[in-house]
């Protein structure tokens, strides 16, 4: 039997850095912060959408769509929060927002919810974590991943498989038997709606979905891939949460866009704490979390230093504590 690993939250509670009363207060949920943040995000989206309109028939269209796409792909962060039912106190609002986000970025909400549950249970454990992103074997593989091309290819195969009524063996490790029909139905509904939008565009001759949605999401996805790399990649494949997850100190605009998910270690330590309380939890857990003070850039420099041999690769470290038995 593997020796139990003391979680940072438990250790902080035991050592008095954080009280149970404080933790309970941090876990309080509210609709208001999310509604305010969404209003600001929508205003920004109107601005970037206006930039696309003004840039039509100009080379500036592509940078305008890229900026618009960065906003759109960050809906992943809100969908991720909705999976944990923390953005809204009103439970059904989490389901509605999560499904809308998933539709916009082609990430089925129900399927992602089951997958993400196992990610939290088996974080960074090879063969157990369904969201594990392996440390690339080379700089070229790193660039290939950031391009988002392998991500989209995997999404195409996933949608095709589920729409055909099939789940892979990997899918079945985290999707409960009783939920398989719902996952299949979800994929079919999403593909049906995408097809309907495409047909309506062809009939009407107005291709707004291409210019204001699909192309921007495709252009912005490499930014999200780069951000996702900073969360766990380059950290050891061990069970200890103080080692396997990275918190990145980033600018206020970046933190706003990612719904404070740069405080990723804190989120893994206490996933019931809403995004808006993570900065306060971070202050309480000083010294209990692994922090990259240089932010996303620092995380990527760390990853690249491992890929170029300037630093020992994290996957060369013995995978102690991997057993959950």
Asked if residue 299 is part of any domain, the answer here is yes
Give the integer Cα–Cα distance in Å for 267 and 314: 22
What digits encode the pLDDT tens for the residues 189-210?
Answer: 999 999 999 999 999 999 999 9
Asked if residue 208 is part of any domain, the answer here is yes
CA 49: distance to chain centroid? 24
Residue 22 pLDDT more than 80?
A: yes
Asked if residue 264 is part of any domain, the answer here is yes
Asked if residue 156 is part of any domain, the answer here is yes
CB atoms within 10 A of CB 57: 6
Per-residue model confidence (pLDDT) at position 18: 86
CB proximity list for 19: less than 8 A, separation 6 or greater: 13
DSSP code, position 235: S
Count the domains in the chain.
1
Q: Between vectors from CA 176 to CA 274 and to CA 230, what angle results, nearest 5°?
A: 45
Asked if residue 89 is part of any domain, the answer here is yes
The whole-chain average pLDDT of the chain stands at: 93
Q: Which residue has the tokens 């157990």?
A: 128
Annotate 12-49 with DSSP letters as a single string.
Answer: HHHHTSS-HHHHHHHT---SHHHHHHHHHHHHHHHHHH
Asked if residue 323 is part of any domain, the answer here is no
SS3 102: helix
> To the nearest 5 percent, what fractions of the chain are helix, strand and coil?
65, 0, 35
Per-residue model confidence (pLDDT) at position 3: 45
293-310 per-residue burial string, b: 16 or more CB within 10 A, e: under 16 = eebbebbbebbeebbeee
Q: Which domain holds residue 109?
A: 8-313
Annotate 158-196 with DSSP letters as a single string.
Answer: HHHHHHTT---HHHHTTS-GGGHHHHHHHHHHHHHHHHH
What digits encode the pLDDT tens for the residues 132-176?
Answer: 999 999 999 999 999 999 999 999 999 999 999 999 999 999 999
What digits encode the pLDDT tens for the residues 58-114?
Answer: 999 999 999 999 999 999 999 999 999 999 999 999 999 999 999 999 999 999 999
Number of separate helices (H) and strands (E) present in the chain: 18, 2
pTM of whole model > 0.85? Answer: yes
Asked if residue 217 is part of any domain, the answer here is yes
Asked if residue 3 is part of any domain, the answer here is no
């Amino acid at each position: 039997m593997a020796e139990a690993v003391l979680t940072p939250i438990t250790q902080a509670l035991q050592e008095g850095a954080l009280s149970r009363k404080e933790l309970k207060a941090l876990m309080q949920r509210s609709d208001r912060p999310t509604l305010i943040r969404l209003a600001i995000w929508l205003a920004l989206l109107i601005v970037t959408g206006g930039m696309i309109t003004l840039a039509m028939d100009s080379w500036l269209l592509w940078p305008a769509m890229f900026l618009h796409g960065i906003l759109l792909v960050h809906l992943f962060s809100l969908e991720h929060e909705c999976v944990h039912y923390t953005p809204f106190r009103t439970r059904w609002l989490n389901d509605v927002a999560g499904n809308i986000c998933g539709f916009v970025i082609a990430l089925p909400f129900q399927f992602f919810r089951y997958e993400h549950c196992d990610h939290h249970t088996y974080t960074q454990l090879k063969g157990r974590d369904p969201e594990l992103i392996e440390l690339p074997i080379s700089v070229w593989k790193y660039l290939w991943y950031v391009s988002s091309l392998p991500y989209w290819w995997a999404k195409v195969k996933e949608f095709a498989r589920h729409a055909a009524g099939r789940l892979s063996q990997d899918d079945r490790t985290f999707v409960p038997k009783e939920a398989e029909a719902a996952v299949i139905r979800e994929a079919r509904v999403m593909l049906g709606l995408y097809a309907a939008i495409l047909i309506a565009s062809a009939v009407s001759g107005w291709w707004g979905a291409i210019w204001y949605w699909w192309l921007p999401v495709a252009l912005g996805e490499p930014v999200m891939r780069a951000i996702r790399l900073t969360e766990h990649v380059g950290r050891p494949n061990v069970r200890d949460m103080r080692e396997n997850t990275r918190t990145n100190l980033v600018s206020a605009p970046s933190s706003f866009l990612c719904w404070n998910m740069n405080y990723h270690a804190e989120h893994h330590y206490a996933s019931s704490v809403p995004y808006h309380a993570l900065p306060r939890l971070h202050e309480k857990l000083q010294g209990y979390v692994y922090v990259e003070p240089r932010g996303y850039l620092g995380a990527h420099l760390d990853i690249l230093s491992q890929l170029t041999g300037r630093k020992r690769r994290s996957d060369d470290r013995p995978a102690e504590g991997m057993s959950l038995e």
